[in-house]
Structure 1
Amino acid sequence: MKEMEIEQIKSLDLNDPILIEGLPGVGHIGKLAAEHLIDELDAEKLYEIYSPKLPPQVIVSKEGVAELVNLEVYAVKNDEEGRDILIVVGDHQSVENEGHYEITGQILDIAEEYGVKEIITLGGFATGEIVDEPDIYGAVNEESLVEELEDLGVKFEEGKPGGGIVGASGLLLGLGSRREIPASCLMGETSGYIVDPVGAQSILKILEQILNIEVDMQELEERADEMEDVVSKIRQKKQQAQQQQQQQQPQPTQDDLRYIG
């Protein structure tokens, strides 16, 4: 394989669809949220995207069946008043800068083919701390989107994210702007240490309002309970490190105390 290959699995007529991207990133928040949408909303696969810029490996199923790494595009027909949905997921992102641009360009080509007029990308915002009730931070490629998202509880603060947004979650905003497609990124607070189902739930609660859908969170809640032991161990190790650091700090002498007013 020398070039990107697109395999169309199915074709659907979609009504004013919105594109949701959830590829791997910090805490795997976007990936968890997007895959949960696919499972809970009975999404149908439309495309598989293969690229030599993805990692050179296969994914092996529980049954031992190997499949070449790829990205997938699913569709959800919204029977309620909300819009139809396109969802982009995958187990990996590109390993090369050029590949990020090529793959994002292909995603945008598909979006334009279906008449997508809005994009939402999903990701994590690493804090370095365990967060019990994560906030959701936002970034947009059009200022007009800010107020709408703030009304839903999304925060916009200077310097967050300080290092920008890497990968498809960021490029869909940048390249989407060049194609005049409004786009926003929702980033759930996460420690950055672990796969974070709590952060994924927080993002899904925002998406429920945007997409006018209801999503059963039970599976993510069960995964969050399973992660509680890991979280407890991380907190315990951090407390021990802080205590050791305090013990290693030099204690003030009697002379030093004279200058404390």
Structure 2
Amino acid sequence: MEHVTVSFSREDNIDAPILIEGLPGIGHVGKLVADHLIDELGGEKIAEIHSLHFPPQVVVDEQGVTHLVNNEIYRCEKDGKAILFLVGDFQSTSPEGHYILTESYLDLAEDLGVRRIYALGGYGVGHLVESPRVLCAVNMEHLKPEVEAAGGSFENAATGGVIVGASGLLLGLGEARGIEGVCLMGETSGYIVDPKSADSLLGVLSGMLGIEVDHTSLQQRAEDMEQAIAAIREAEEAKGREELSYIG
């Protein structure tokens, strides 16, 4: 098996100027947004990516049949705009693998005519967030006004920081190839799957893409999550009152 293998299900008319990366990360924020867009825009899977740098396991489907783990490339069109998506459930299991996989993603992007990459993720703050901001980073200075006009924030830039995994490396390695890179990170606690943060991020991303997208399913998931969190808090408070009563 090669370090990275890309298998196309079709090869005609699949070029696109934009690639959106939504691989797993903090709060699954980026993955939620990418998967939502693929569903809403009726994306078509055009390629599968297999790699020695993915976890050593197989996925068992509903029929009991196994499949090697993989990431996928989807292609969508909206209002005459073609968009590619890099999605899946896996990042590399090693630092070296992150670089090898990212270079392969960028090779693929160049071959398909990509000029800009949006890397999506979460920005962990360690507590629940009522109104999540979308914090941003770019690999070229001239992109900042466009990001801010869409509602993105660079407030986190003052303290610096790092972006780990594919999201960061796509910007860093992409710059050397002349590919514009924008990283959008929804503010999130970091310890729950966070559709509320994803909904905020979707608003900024759709503004930058210049497309309208239905947010309904993400917003419903966010409401369901809020109810679950409220129930947990209520149970914890009730338990605390019971313990205090017992001690007294």
Using the size of structure 1 for normalisation, the TM-score is 0.84
Distance verdict in 2 for CA 1:110–1:128, change over 3 Å: same
Deviation at 1:44, TM superposition (A): 0.9
Q: Which residue of 2 aligns with 1:259?
A: none
Indicate how the Cα distance of structure 1 residues 231 and 103 shifts in structure 2: closer, same or farther if over 3 A, else same. same
Q: Which amino acid is the alignment partner of residue 128 of structure 1? A: G
Contact 1:138 1:154 in 2 (8 A): yes
- The alpha carbon displacement at 1:215 in A equals 1.8
Shift of the 11–31 alpha-carbon distance from structure 1 to 2, 3 Å rule, reads same
Specify every segment of 5 or more residues in structure 2 that has no aligned partner in the other structure, as ranges.
242-248
> 1:71 is matched by which residue type in structure 2?
N
Is the 2:15–2:114 Cα contact (8 Å) retained in structure 1? no
**Aligned-partner Cα distance in 1 for 2:158–2:34:** 23
State the distance in 2 between where 1:102 and 1:47 align: 18
Q: How far off is 1:234 after superposition?
A: 5.6
Tell me the C-alpha RMSD between the 2 structures.
Answer: 2.4
Q: What is residue 99 of structure 1 aligned with on the other side?
A: 97
Aligned residues: 241
Structure 2 counterpart of 1:125, from 123, 126, 147 = 123
Q: Which has the higher helix share?
A: 2
What amino acid does structure 1 have at the position aligned with 2:188?
T
Deviations 1:55-80 (A, max 9, x none): 111223344333211110111123x1
More strand by share: 2
Give the letter for the 2:110 counterpart: E
SS at match of 2:141: coil
Could you tell me how far apart the structure 2 residues matched to 1:178 and 1:235 are? 48
Q: Aligned residue for 1:217?
A: 215
Structure 1 partner of 2:23: 23
Runs of 4+ that moved beyond 6 A: 237-240
Q: Normalising to structure 2: TM-score of the pair?
A: 0.89
Alignment partner of 2:131: what SS?
A: coil
Larger Rg: 1
Counterpart-to-counterpart distance in 2, 1:95 and 1:49: 15
Distance in 2 of aligned mates of 1:218 and 1:161? 35
Identical counterparts, % of pairs: 50
Deviation of 1:221 after TM superposition, in Å, equals: 2.2
